[in-house]
Amino acid sequence: MKRSQRETEDSARQIGRRSLVLGGLFAGTGAVLAGRMRYLQVERADDFRLLAEENRINIRLLPPARGLIFDRGGVLVAGNEQNYRVTLVREDAGDVDEVLAELARIVNLDLVTLDRARQEIARRPPFVPVTVADRLSWAEISAVAVNAPALPGVTPDVGLSRIYPMGGDFAHVVGYVGPVSDYYLEQTGDTDPVLQIPDFQVGRNNIEARLEPTLRGSAGTTRVEVNAGGRIMRELDRDPADPGSDVQLTVDAGLQNYVEARLSGESAGSVVIDCQSGEILALASAPTFNPNLFVRGISTGAWNGLNADPYRPLANKATQGLYPPGSTYKMVVALAALEAGVIRPDETFNCPGHLEVGNRRFHCWRRGGHGRMDMVQAIGQSCDVFFYELAQRVGIEAISAMARRLGCGVRHELPLSGIAEGLAPTMDWKMQNRGASWVVGDTINASIGQGFVLSSPLHLAVMTARLASGRAIQPAIIRSIDGISQLPEPAPELGFDPAFLTHIHQGMWNVNNDRRGTAYGSRVEVAEYKIAGKTGTSQVRNISTAERASGVVSNNDLPWDRRDHALYVGYAPFDNPRYACAVIVEHGGGGSAVAAPIARDILLRAQVGDIPPPELYPSSQRHDIERMHRELPILPSPPVPAGRTVRSQA
């Protein structure tokens, strides 16, 4: 049908209007787009250029090399070793399970390792690298690098890990490091960003923990170019990390190894101090443990095994253990009495084997008594009754004041964990802590280092060093930090009358060198190495009247944990004291039979500088001594594992 001219004109007008509308829409849209493009490309160009650069460039932290720890002679006791590892960043990995599965095919990861990695990845922020596998071989880390395109978010890396070349010898001195845990962050409040670095290690015990800020160092940074998958393409620049400070100890590695070996098989502790400077030359606790187990996080089985051991290898018996000091405390009582003027040095008491006080009988260790004794004899033969009498004259306040003056009942400030304060009790202490008045029986018990009195081997070693030197020796265990000396100033005189000290020294000489001395069996035959000391035996159970009447049960017939503690303190050489030593053997029995021989060997090792030769011992003991030294786990020389300890990363 043919359209009319009017209809054609109307249709043309409608098409024209539509064209105008569409054209206007296109023009408006183009204008908006042009304006937006100008805004993005001109006005926001710098902002978007920065964002693009930030997406392409990552800034990553570089871990500092932990400071090294050496013994007094430069032997490495805590170092660093290279550790090849693989890290994963969750936000760059995409499908984490798929990436882990592919990685497991390359380096053969077991299910436990994969589960642990998944838990850590889920726990950490998505941008924080997480170590999936460490301590890989060069072949394994090379395989990961070759397959990098198939492993988004995965980075082969080389870091540093702590190593303790001498194993357990320094476990109770240096301590150990461990991974950063949520508990550690919560307890310390440490916000150092370096703690977010994968497998970063922090000190958890003893010097590693107490000198953490000194040993840690500070992180560096590196700017790297990465691709869209998070893969590092190249390093643009680097600000190196500042390594931690190196620490030198006062401890002698050879002597420390000998002491640990000599204590092996016992639950024991020992401290050796330089009588002139206060430097701790050995500080040992047995049994010990391998601190390398803690570096990566100790297994549950190993941890439970250490905790279940009745000999308590994790406890530092040398500084944390508190024990009744037994008869090693008698020099404190003697010196307090001399200073107070309540006894003349040549005055004597009679020992019939016991002392009656009120309705109670206090016994001497020698059932038949010692007869009449002066102070030198009483120390040498360890007569209890003599000191019962002495203590009643001088009183507990003067005894405890003297104990603190000699270094007992105080806390010695050392960078070690859990140093015990000990206890030199007073009348006020008992009232405040026990709600009871002090009685004369308390003083008598304290006179032989029993009752409330408590000391550690560290206390007793300091006491012995002060008695030997007459100076207020302060124990020190850090010799230098980055070569700068940390040793205390020379100790001042304690102000004792030299004549009083001479009597104490002569009594201690008799202990080892008089035939009636309690440690005569542990004497030294060569004059220049002779030692002076004091034995001690502290009870851990009460002996009933009935048992005493029928005969006290021998330690050997008792369960181990019911036996007496064995103690000994001593110094050498006698004519010019240089070394002071304290030894405790938990539930070892008698101090003269168990602790004294150990201490003699330690003091000889300190003086000789090597395994003591048999000619220093009584001839009847030389064969047994030689056999003992052959069987001890003694290192011939402190090892420095070549190629394994490094100062810093390349």
CATH of the domain at 464: 3.40.710.10
134 and 175 assigned to the same domain? yes
Check residue 147 and report its DSSP letter: T
197 and 91 assigned to the same domain? yes
pLDDT of residue 406: 98
∠ at Cα 175 (170, 180), nearest 5°?
A: 150
Residue from 170, 30, 29, 150 nearest 100 by CA: 150
**Amino acid residing at 220:** G
Is a pLDDT exceeding 80 seen at residue 646?
no
443 and 429 assigned to the same domain? yes
Q: Which has the minimum average pLDDT: 397-411, 447-461, 532-546?
A: 532-546
Q: Is residue 336 included in any domain, yes or no?
A: yes
pLDDT of residue 228: 57
Residue with tokens 């009935």: 546
Q: What are phi and psi of 269, to 5 degrees?
A: -145, 150
588-604 confidence digits (pLDDT tens): 999 999 999 999 999 99
Is a pLDDT exceeding 70 seen at residue 642?
no
Indicate the pLDDT class of residue 299, thresholds 50, 70 and 90: confident
Q: Is residue 230 included in any domain, yes or no?
A: yes
Q: Which has the minimum average pLDDT: 218-232, 276-290, 321-335, 359-373?
A: 218-232
Phi-psi region of 153 (alpha: psi -120 to 50; beta: other; left: phi over 0): left
pLDDT of residue 144: 87
Q: Is residue 355 included in any domain, yes or no?
A: yes
Q: How far is Cα 406 from Cα 412, in angstroms, rounded to an integer?
A: 12
CB-count burial class (<10 Å; 0-12, 13-18, 19+) for 87: buried
Percent of the chain surpassing pLDDT 90: 61
How many domains in the chain? 2
Most confident of 332-336, 367-371, 554-558: 332-336
Indicate the pLDDT class of residue 570, thresholds 50, 70 and 90: very high
Centre a 10 Å sphere on the Cβ of residue 638 and count the other Cβ atoms it contains. 19
Is a pLDDT exceeding 80 seen at residue 67?
yes
152-198 confidence digits (pLDDT tens): 888 888 878 899 999 999 999 999 998 888 788 888 888 888 887 77
pLDDT of residue 380: 97
95-120 confidence digits (pLDDT tens): 888 888 888 888 888 888 888 888 88
pLDDT of residue 341: 96
Q: Which has the minimum average pLDDT: 55-64, 169-178, 213-222?
A: 55-64
Instruction: Please give the residue that has the higher pLDDT: either 531 or 127.
Output: 531
Q: Is residue 21 included in any domain, yes or no?
A: no
The pair of structure tokens assigned to 37 is 């493009």
Domain termination site, one of 186, 219, 249: 249
Q: How far is Cα 232 from Cα 389, in angstroms, rounded to an integer?
A: 81
- Characterize the bridge pairing of strands 220-226 and 177-179: unpaired
260 and 228 assigned to the same domain? no
311-365 confidence digits (pLDDT tens): 999 999 999 999 999 999 999 999 999 999 999 989 999 999 999 998 899 999 9
432 and 285 assigned to the same domain? yes
Across the chain, mean pLDDT equals 88
pLDDT of residue 49: 56
- CA torsion through residues 103, 104, 108, 114, sign: positive
Indicate the pLDDT class of residue 220, thresholds 50, 70 and 90: confident
CB 242 within 8 Å of CB 250: no
3-state secondary structure of 509: helix
Q: Is residue 565 included in any domain, yes or no?
A: yes
100 and 72 assigned to the same domain? yes
pTM of the model: 0.84
217 and 329 assigned to the same domain? no
CB 100 within 8 Å of CB 132: yes
Instruction: Give the active site residues.
Output: 327
526-548 average pLDDT score: 83
pLDDT of residue 147: 87
pLDDT of residue 169: 96
259-284 average pLDDT score: 97
Domain termination site, one of 232, 249, 266: 249
Domain termination site, one of 192, 215, 249: 249
257 and 227 assigned to the same domain? no
Instruction: Please give the residue that has the higher pLDDT: either 282 or 4.
Output: 282
3-state secondary structure of 8: helix
CB 129 within 8 Å of CB 87: yes
455 and 359 assigned to the same domain? yes
Q: Is residue 378 included in any domain, yes or no?
A: yes
210 and 307 assigned to the same domain? no
Q: Is residue 42 included in any domain, yes or no?
A: no
**Amino acid residing at 392:** Q
Work out the end-to-end distance of the chain between its first and last CA atoms, rounded to an integer number of angstroms.
93
- Characterize the bridge pairing of strands 76-88 and 69-70: antiparallel
272: containing domain: 253-474+489-631
335 and 467 assigned to the same domain? yes
Is a pLDDT exceeding 60 seen at residue 229?
no
pLDDT of residue 190: 87
Q: Which has the minimum average pLDDT: 34-38, 224-228, 378-382, 474-478?
A: 224-228
288 and 241 assigned to the same domain? no
The pair of structure tokens assigned to 299 is 């297994």
**CATH number of the domain encompassing residue 242:** 3.90.1310.10
CB 494 within 8 Å of CB 469: no
Q: Is residue 649 included in any domain, yes or no?
A: no
